[in-house]
Structure 1
Amino acid sequence: MPAQAGGSGAAAEGGAAVEAATAETASLSLADSSLPLWFKPELFVGPEFNPVAYVADLKRYVPLETLSSELHSHLDALKSKLVEVVNEDYNDFVSLSTKLVNVDGSLARMQRPLLELQEKLEAVRSSVAGASAELQSGLARRQAVAAARALLELMQDTAHVMSKVDKLLGEVRASPAPGGSASSGTNGASAGAKAGAAAGVAALSPEELEAHCRLLDRVASEVSRLQFYAAKGGELEFMRQLQPRIDAAAEALQGYLDAALAATLQSQSPVALSVCLHAYAAITRPQAAEAVVRSTLVAPVVRQVVAGHKSRAPLAGPASGGQLGEVLAAVSEGLKAQCAPFLEHTLSQPSTSQAFDFLGGSLLAEVLAALNEGMPGVFSAGVPAHFHANFQAALRFIEALEGYCTQQAQVEAFRGSAAYAAFMKRWNLSVYFSLRFQDIAGGLEGKLSTAALQAAPASKDGGPRFHWAPSAAVWAGLQRCASPDVFLPQLADKFVRLALQLLARYAAWISTGMQQRAEAAEAAAAGVGGEAAGGGREQQPQQQQAEGSSGSGGGGSWDSSATPEQLAALRQDIDSLLAALLSSFVPQLSALLAGLPAEAAEAVASSFGEASEQLEAAGQALMGAVAETLTEKSVVVLKQLRGIVATFRMTNRAQPSRPSHYVSMILAPLHQFLQGEAASKLARQQLAAAVAAGVSARYLHLADDTLSTVRKTESSLKRLKARQQGGEGGAAPADTDKMIALQLFLDVQEFGRQAKQAGVDATQLESYQQLWRMVAPDEQAAAPISF
Structure 2
Amino acid sequence: MSLVSPQPSSADPFQLERLAEELVSRETFNNEDAVHDLPEYVPLSHDNPYLTAETFDVEEFLLSRSHTSLQDLKAELRDYLSSLKEELVQLINDDYESFISLSTDLKGEDVRLASLQAPLAGLKQEIQISKADLRAIQTTLEEKLRKRAALREEKALLHLLLKISESVLRLETLLLISSSDSSEMDGIQPVNPNQEHPEEREGNRAKHLSRVAAEYTQLLYHANKARTERCLFVDEIQWRIDRIQSTISSDLDHLFGTTLVLLTEKKGESEKSKAITDLTECLKTYDMLGLWRDAEDVMRREVVRPFIKKTIFSGTLSAPHSPLLPHTPAPQAKTPAFISSTRTPYTPFTSRVFHPPHSQGKGTSPYAYILDESKDPLAALYSQILRFVERELSGIMDIAEKVSLKSLSSRKPDKGGSFTPRSGILVKTLNESESEGTRGFELLGNVVWEEFGRAIMDELGNFVFASGRPNEFKQHHEITQAFIRSLEFLAPSVYSIENMRRHPIYVAFENRWQLSVYFQIRWKEIVGKVEESLAEGEVDLSENYPTNSFQTTQASDIWIAITACWSAEVFIPELSHRFWKLTLQLLSRYKRWLEETVITSHSTRPSTIVNEKISASRSSTPVPTPDSTSNENAAADDATLRTCAAVITDIQTIQRSTMTLWNEEISMMLPGAHAEDDDGVSAELALRRAVDSLAGLVTPLSKIIVSVLSRRACDALLPVRSIPSQLRAMSNKRPPSEASPFVATIMRPVKAFFGVTGTGESVGVSLKNEFLVQYSSEVFEEVCQKYVSYITAIKKAEDSLKRFKIGKKKTFSLFGSKDDENHESRDEERIRLQLMLDVEAFEKDGQSLGINLEDSPSFKSLSELVEVSELPEA
Tell me which moved more, 342-351 or 430-439.
Answer: 430-439
Aligned to 1:68: 38
2:324 is the alignment partner of 1:324: no
Cα gap change, 1:290/1:721 in structure 2, threshold over 3 Å: closer, same or farther? same
Tell me: CA distance 1:616–1:235, structure 2 relative to 1, closer, same or farther (3 Å). Answer: farther
Aligned to 2:811, what secondary structure does the other structure show? coil
Equivalent position of 1:632 in the other structure: 711
Name the counterpart of 1:398. 484
Aligned partners of 1:224 and 1:282 also within 8 Å = no
Does the CA contact (< 8 Å) of 1:514 and 1:621 recur in 2?
A: no
Q: Select the structure that is richer in helix.
A: 1
Alpha carbons 1:264, 1:273 under 8 Å: kept: yes
The answer for unaligned runs of 5 or more in structure 2 is: 1-27, 48-75, 264-274, 322-373, 409-426, 428-439, 615-628
CA deviation vs aligned residue, 1:489-528 (integer Å, no higher than 9, x gap): 5555665665566556546655676653575369779999
Aligned to 1:360: 445
Percent identical residues: 18
Please state how far the C-alpha of 1:453 moved relative to its aligned partner: 2.0
| Structure-1 separation of matches of 2:597 and 2:166 | 91
Residue 454 of structure 1: SS of its match in structure 2?
A: coil
Match of 2:19 in 1: none
Q: 1:713 to 1:102 in 2, by over 3 A?
A: farther
Q: Note closer, same or farther for the CA distance 1:102–1:257 as it changes in structure 2 (3 Å cut).
A: farther
Q: Counterpart of 2:431?
A: none
Q: 1:163 to 1:463 in 2, by over 3 A?
A: farther
What corresponds to 1:50 in structure 2? Answer: none
Contact 1:381 1:431 (8 Å CA) reproduced: yes
Could you tell which deviates more after superposition, 746-755 or 717-726? Answer: 717-726
Q: What displacement does 1:363 show?
A: 0.7
* Counterpart in the other structure of 1:568: 645
Query: 1:68, CA displacement in angstroms?
Result: 1.7
- Tell me the distance in 2 between the aligned counterparts of 1:617 and 1:140: 101
Deviation readout 1:319-347 (Å, 9 max, x if unpaired): x9954222111112233343344334333
Cα distance between partner residues in 2 of 1:241 and 1:726: 155
Residue 334 of structure 1 corresponds to 388
Equivalent residue for 1:766, pick from 857, 863, 867 = 857
Candidates 568, 581, 587, aligned match of 1:484: 568
Q: Distance in 1 between matches of 2:732 and 2:44?
A: 117
Q: Say yes or no: does 1:667 pair with 2:761.
A: no
**1:46 maps to what in 2?**
none
Change in 2 beyond 3 A, CA 1:463/1:640: closer
User: 3-state SS of the aligned residue for 1:563?
Assistant: helix
Shift, 1:452, TM fit:
1.7
The question of whether the paired residues in 1 share the 8 Å contact of 2:207 and 2:281 is answered with: no
In terms of mean alpha carbon deviation, does 754-763 or 629-638 score higher? 754-763
CA 1:456/1:524 → structure 2, altered by over 3 Å: closer, same or farther?
A: closer
Correspondent of 2:555 among 467, 471, 478 = 471
Q: Distance in 1 between matches of 2:556 and 2:229?
A: 75
Paired AA for residue 782 in structure 2? A
Residues 1:284 and 1:146: Cα distance change in structure 2 (over 3 Å): farther
Aligned to 1:697: 782
Q: What is the one-letter code of the residue matched to 1:273?
A: L
Q: Does 1:778 align with 2:866?
A: no
CA distance in 2, matches of 1:641, 1:597: 61
Corresponding position of 2:97: 99
Aligned AA (1:266): V
Q: 1:463 to 1:253 in 2, by over 3 A?
A: farther
1:634 and 1:709 mapped to 2: Cα distance?
Answer: 19
- Deviation per CA, 1:68-113: give whole Å up to 9, x if none: 27x449999x999999999998874463464353588599999999
Distance, in Å, in 2 between the alignment partners of 1:679 and 1:767 is 26
Q: Give the drift of 1:242.
A: 10
SS at match of 1:101: helix
Partner Cα distance (1:149, 1:689) in 2: 107
Code of the aligned partner of 2:551 = H
CA contact (8 A) 1:323 1:390 kept: no
**In the alignment, residue 282 of structure 2 is paired with which amino acid?**
C
Q: Alpha carbons of 1:716 and 1:670: their partners in 2 closer, same or farther (altered >3 Å)?
A: closer
Other-structure match for 1:307: 313
For 2:44 and 2:30, the matched residues in 1 are separated by 19
2-structure distance, mates of 1:694, 1:107 = 130
Q: Distance in 2 between matches of 1:751 and 1:324?
A: 75
Q: Is the 8 A contact 1:448 1:509 kept in 2?
A: yes
Gap runs ≥5 in structure 1: 1-56, 176-181, 531-539, 548-559, 782-787
Alignment partners' CA distance in 2, 1:59 and 1:74 = 35
Pick closer, same or farther for the CA change 1:741–1:249 going to 2, 3 Å: farther
Does the 8 Å CA contact 1:384/1:432 hold for their aligned counterparts? yes
Who is 2:209 aligned against? 213
Superposition deviation, residue 469 in structure 1:
1.7
Matched to 2:540, the amino acid is: Q
Which of the pair has the greater relative contact order for Cα pairs under 8 Å at 6+ separation?
A: 2
The offset of 1:598, in angstroms, is 9.3
Shift of 1:610: 6.5
Shift of the 738–281 alpha-carbon distance from structure 1 to 2, 3 Å rule, reads: same
The CA distance in 1 between the partners of 2:177 and 2:376, in whole Å, is 54
Counterpart of 1:450? Answer: 536
Instruction: Give matches, 1:408-557, under 5 Å.
Output: 408-429=494-515, 431-433=517-519, 435-456=521-542, 458=544, 465-489=549-573, 499=583, 502=586, 506=590, 509-510=593-594, 515-516=599-600, 520=604
Question: 8 Å contact 1:223–1:283 — kept in the other structure?
Answer: no
Instruction: Let me know the Cα RMSD of the aligned residues.
Output: 6.6
CA contact under 8 A between 1:453 and 1:468: conserved in structure 2? yes
In the TM superposition, 1:265-276 aligns within 5 A as 265-268=260-263, 269-276=275-282
- Residue 665 (structure 2) pairs with residue 589 (structure 1): yes
Alignment-derived partner of residue 187 in structure 2: 186
Q: Is the 8 A contact 2:781 2:859 kept in 1?
A: yes
The residue number in structure 1 matching 2:473 is 387
CA drift of 1:470 comes to 2.5
Count, aligned residues: 667
Cα distance in 1, alignment partners of residues 562 and 299 from structure 2: 47
